[in-house]
């Protein structure tokens, strides 16, 4: 049977998703060690895509192949009994026929969070980056319109990206702003058909720069020329969460709670 | 000079506010060690009140006495340069004349957070407790009205409380409910003139029990009889945050960010 898992993790103490040779703590390594405990044989766990060190996931999708009499829906509980508190399986199901967890993904949504404060806030800094001062969310929304659609995002990729093409479609960028207890939190939600290496963190950095007053003309220029040098800041990993992977149909019956 | 500090901490890795003999990691111990580094002499740091192990603070108020030429507003930066990431000073100021950081406190607001899910959620569980299923916030709001006002809250106190009287005034209990990404988060904000040991965690447990269907008659009975045996559950520390201490006038000029 091929099983799919809906997985959430707090990325703070993981060296990213992908298993590493040196025995660092990774999401894949932890899932595979747990699968081996459950099924008694070495088990490969693949995912919709990698996430970097420190990046969180609310809804990563993983797949594994197993021979077991445990009903697919119950795999969740088997995993959760053995997994650490910062990595849990929210749902499990049998994978559809001919399902490829990486290539079948149609859309992904990432959320980037940052708060405005003149000093680090202990209760915010685990899941959000810090901006030195408030920014103009309206300006950011205008700039976001320039980035939506199909573009060559070469300028928005860290060097060392191995992708064959840097053309991606960004379906929507939403910007939310919420002030509570005297502090403002910004959330940038980006939905696209795929993302280049560091693309969301670079894009978030540019949107925050626009929010702080930078003129937007450089964005058009960056998309046209592909020149990374026009762009400044890659935001820290802690603010980034893989929110949702959309396969075009529901993979899990999530319990209504 | 007496200086006041507005302090925030993530309580996860602190054995509560109060310094302990055995050298456990505490908020007071960490602040006092830092004060000694800055001022060169042993310095006592007092607070509006203690918080238990695992309880967070968004706005604890602390006070210390020091001889220094550093302007009071700049003490914040001196502390933050030396403090760990999970404990920061958000603002500092000179204390008003005859100010007692503990006794001058007029009102305190605590927030208790819990989310409904059939399994632990890694991205929620640091700052919120888990409820097994959704609850009825409307029922909780009706029950909250019974607890507001001046009452003898003896039934809502853990044994071992050293308070002279168990009469307290609860000014307001607000209940907010927010659903995001398929999960519902509940926030109970309680403002009162003071709280008995574990009172907010016991009160939150009873309100969630009412939200899950428990009849409210026992609340009136508990207030009248003072019998702890009528009440069930003390909620876990991780869901509790000391949000604000109100002295009746502003202590800090918070930078508008």
Span A96-138, pLDDT tens digits? 999 999 999 999 999 999 999 999 999 999 999 999 999 999 9
pLDDT tens, B117-158? 999 999 999 999 999 999 999 999 999 999 999 999 999 988
DSSP state of B241: E
Question: Which pLDDT does position A228 carry in this prediction?
Answer: 78
Whether the domain at A2-103 and the domain at A107-243 fall into the same CATH topology: yes
Catalytic residue among A52, A100, A152, A246: A52
Contact by Cβ (8 Å): B245, B48: yes
Q: Counting Cβ atoms within 10 Å, is residue B88 exposed (0-12), middle (13-18) or buried (19+)?
A: buried
A51 CA to chain B: closest CA distance, Å?
15
Give the per-residue pLDDT at B177.
97
Tokens 């309680």, located at residue:
B190
The answer to whether the beta carbons of residues B215 and B185 sit under 8 Å apart is: no
Confidence of residue B160 (pLDDT cuts 50, 70, 90): low
Question: In this prediction, what percent of chain A has a pLDDT beyond 70?
Answer: 97
Q: What is the mean pLDDT of residues B221-231?
A: 84
- pLDDT exceeds 80 at position A31: yes
Cβ atoms of residues B122 and B188 within 8 Å: no
Percent of chain B with pLDDT over 70: 97
- Interchain CB distance below 8 Å, B118 and A10: no
pLDDT interval class at A254 (50, 70, 90): low
Average pLDDT over residues B41-60: 96
Which residues neighbour A166 within 8 Å (Cβ) at sequence distance 6 or greater? A152, A153, A154, A157, A196, A226
Q: What pLDDT was estimated at residue A137?
A: 98
As a whole number of angstroms, the longest Cα–Cα distance in chain B is: 60
Q: Tell me the average pLDDT of chain B.
A: 93
Active-site annotation holds for A136:
no
CATH number belonging to the domain at B2-103, selected among 3.40.50.1400, 3.30.70.580, 2.40.50.100, 3.40.50.800: 3.30.70.580
Check residue A255 and give its pLDDT.
43
Residues in chain B: 257
What pLDDT does residue A253 have? 80
Cβ contact, residue pair A122, B255, below 8 Å: no
Q: What pLDDT does A182 receive? A: 79
Mean pLDDT of B85-92: 97
Domain ranges of chain B: 2-103, 107-243
Indicate if the pLDDT at residue A257 is higher than 50.
Answer: no
In this structure, which topology does domain A107-243 adopt according to CATH? Alpha-Beta Plaits (3.30.70)
Contact B10 A126 (CB under 8 A): yes
CA–CA dist B144, B174 (Å, integer): 8
Tell me the per-residue pLDDT of A40-98, one tens digit each, with 9 for 90 and over. Answer: 999 999 999 999 999 999 999 999 999 999 999 999 999 999 999 999 999 999 999 99
- Measured between CB atoms, does B125 come within 8 Å of chain A? yes
Q: Other C-beta atoms within 10 Å of A154: how many?
A: 19
> Average pLDDT of A8-37?
95
- Give chain A's length: 257
Chain A residues in contact with B127 (beta carbon < 8 A):
123
Residue among A115, A119, A126, A243 with most chain B CBs within 10 A, to mutate: A119
Query: Which A positions 126-165 lie with beta carbon below 8 A of chain B?
Result: 126-127, 133-134
pTM, entire model: 0.93
Assess whether pLDDT exceeds 60 at residue B255: no
Give the model confidence (pLDDT) of A139-196 as tens digits. Answer: 999 999 999 999 999 999 887 666 789 999 999 999 999 987 778 999 999 999 999 9
pLDDT > 50? residue B256: no
Task: Kindly identify which residue of chain B lies nearest to residue A8, measuring between CA atoms.
Answer: B122
Count other Cβ atoms within 10 Å, centred on residue B124: 20
């Amino acid at each position: 049977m091929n099983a799919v898992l809906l997985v959430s993790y707090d990325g703070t103490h993981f060296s990213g998703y992908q298993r590493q040779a040196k025995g660092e703590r990774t999401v894949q390594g932890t899932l595979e060690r747990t699968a081996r405990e459950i099924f008694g044989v070495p088990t490969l766990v693949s995912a919709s895509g990698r996430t970097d060190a420190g990046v969180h996931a609310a809804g990563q999708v993983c797949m594994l192949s197993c021979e077991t009499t445990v009903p697919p829906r119950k795999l969740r509980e088997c995993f959760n009994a053995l997994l650490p508190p910062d990595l849990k399986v929210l749902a499990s199901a049998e994978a559809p026929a001919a399902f490829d967890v990486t290539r079948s993904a149609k859309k992904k949504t990432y959320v980037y969070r940052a708060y405005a404060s003149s000093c680090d806030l202990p209760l915010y800094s685990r899941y959000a980056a810090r901006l030195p001062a408030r920014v103009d969310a309206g300006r950011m929304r205008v700039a976001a319109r320039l980035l939506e659609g199909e573009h060559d995002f070469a300028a928005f990729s860290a060097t060392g990206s191995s992708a064959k093409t840097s053309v991606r479609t960004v379906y929507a960028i939403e910007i939310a702003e919420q002030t509570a207890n005297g502090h403002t939190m910004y959330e940038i939600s980006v939905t696209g058909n795929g993302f280049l290496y560091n693309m969301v963190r670079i894009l978030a950095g540019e949107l925050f720069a626009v929010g702080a007053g930078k003129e937007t003309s450089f964005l058009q220029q960056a998309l046209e020329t592909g020149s990374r040098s026009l762009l400044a800041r890659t935001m820290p990993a802690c603010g980034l969460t893989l929110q949702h992977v959309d396969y075009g149909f529901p993979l899990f019956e999530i319990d209504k709670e």
